[in-house]
Amino acid sequence: MILLQSFLCAIAKTIFLLAIFLLSDFAQAQATNANENIKPKSQGAVWAPDNGDGTYKNPILYADYSDPDVVRVGDDFYLTASSFSNFPGLPILHSKDLVNWEIIGHAAIQYPIETFIKPQHGNGIWAPSLRYHNGEFYIYFGDPDYGIFMTKTKNPTGPWEPLKLIRKAKGWIDPCPLWDDDGSAYLVHAWARSRSGIKHILTLNKMNAEGTKILDDGVTVFCDSVKHPTMEGPKLYKRNGYYYIFAPAGGVKPGWQVVLKSKNIYGPYEDRIVLEQGSTNINGPHQGGWIETQTGEDWFIHFQDRYAYGRIVHLQPMKWENDWPAIGVDYDKNGIGEPVSSYKKPNIGKKYPVCNPATNDEFNSAKLGLQWQWQANYNSEWISLKAKKGSLRFYTQPQLPSQKNLFNAAALLLQKFPAPQFIATTKVFLSAKHPGDRAGLIVFGLDYAHVGIIKTETGFKVSQFSCKDADDGTGEEEIDFAVVDNSTINLRVEINSENVAEIIPRLLCSFSYSLDGKSFKRIGKEFIAREGKWVGAKIGIFTTTNRENNQNSFADFDWFRFE
């Protein structure tokens, strides 16, 4: 008995010591993780619309994918959106269930017009339509200053054919094609009032069968400035012998969704409001596309303009009643649907893993992540992903004293806000040859602010700058600075919303920096993010020099992460 007790005591002592060791090791690991606070909690997206219980919440994309259009090919769904003068443009997103999306490519790598070597804020690629015909994907869009463009491919990841101007015109926007049962091809489009003085007319054109030429000047198929002022974004469909045009009316932020129906493609068309804000907080349920799943369900994807957040994307249930679409839920019992905030996920016959558009970038690849865009056509001399393995080398870009701010800088590497609230952090080493060389982390819009490291006469400093009404040419103001003795620094911005559920958000941006990657120190004042021209606020990185050339100065960005 004594031997047994001794043996049991020895085992208990061993277990106790082992437990102490494991707990100590666990505590040390926790402390290490706490000190590594530059690492986000997740390397994935910071917004997840999939609730994981068979339901989803809106928006399905809490990011600025303006004027979305969607198509299904087999078991796959594809989406594209406006990109204006940001390139690469015409992003291509892919989904298996209409809720979880990822970026797979772009249809417009460069713009074929010389002026786009500089930012053309609000111009360029307006509302596209995406269709699949005869084994090929087609995208049509209108540039309000130049006309109707198209591109196509057999592989949605690319490459896409170079953008082709198929009709030179002023003020033609938001085109959408339809190939009829007899092979005839048509194109419906709206008008930009800023270029044409027209905003409530829809026009139908005949195209060649290949969809590469517009054959006439078009016929007006709808005009009603009283009931539906500002009619735009038409999407043309055919179902059960009826032609349908889905089109938003009443303006982007306060508007509603209209559907037109006719037995003849040239009309006359009956009209019906099918989706409105009603008693919800989803304003202007606007422009989008109808999609049918492989299981026969109907859905409608549209955007909501949330100012600094941009035009975020919602998914609405849809069904057909007496050959009219009923979208959303008729909460007010007035025969008009209203947007849902949460709903049962589409039935697509299978279950697929959760996925989200890319946000983080470790800069370990030979190519930039697909989430990044430039403010104009890209110049390969701006950056290198080969000069230093695992880093993005960003050569300093000239910003002469005559250029008072960064609003018209082409070489800003930016991406969309990915969530209602988030933290973004980057680590940068500045190799500066001259005082004034700088590299930074920026929140960009009509107003912007940034935090960065700057070479001085005696060393380095970290500064926070802001610029109000940048589009009016106002200069930057240095809000705060701190002298540092290190050319490597971690830069961070934390973005929170005071009123995240309200239509007009107030997004507060707080900047900070760290020399050791562990403890961060706030710098400057809180900045209120503001949208850009037809786009939401963006976040990203930049470098500048106050000389006419970069004199071999550069910044190496190790990574860019969200949490």
Q: Quick check: 281 pLDDT over 80? A: yes
Strands 397-398 and 538-545, bridge-based pairing: parallel
Q: Quick check: 26 pLDDT over 50? A: no
Q: Which residues are catalytic?
A: 67, 232
The CA distance from 302 to 314, in Å, is 5
What is the per-residue pLDDT for 468? 97
- Quickly state the pLDDT bin for 45 (edges 50, 70, 90): low
Average pLDDT, the chain: 92
Distances in whole angstroms, Cα of residue 386 to Cα of each of 364, 390, 400, 556: 9, 8, 28, 11
**Predicted TM-score of the model (pTM):** 0.91
- Residue-wise pLDDT tens digits, 310-356: 999 999 999 999 999 999 999 999 999 999 999 999 999 999 999 99
Please state, for a pLDDT cut of 70, what percent of the chain lies above it: 92
Q: Poorest-confidence range of 155-169, 249-263, 512-526, 544-558?
A: 544-558
Q: Where are the beta strands (DSSP E) in 324-431?
A: 324-327, 342-344, 383-384, 392-395, 397-398, 413-416, 422-431
- Residue-wise pLDDT tens digits, 398-408: 988 788 999 99
Q: Quick check: 501 pLDDT over 90? A: no
Q: Provide the token pair at 175.
A: 């085109």
The CA distance from 138 to 262, in Å, is 25
What is the per-residue pLDDT for 157? 98
Q: What region does 230 belong to: left with phi over 0, alpha with psi -120 to 50, or beta?
A: left
Which residue in this structure is represented by tokens 């004042």?
525
What is the per-residue pLDDT for 259? 98
Q: Quick check: 214 pLDDT over 70? A: yes
- Quickly state the pLDDT bin for 46 (edges 50, 70, 90): confident
What is the per-residue pLDDT for 29? 34
Q: Quick check: 426 pLDDT over 70? A: yes
**Domains within the chain, CATH numbers bracketed:** 55-344 (2.115.10.20), 383-562 (2.60.120.200)
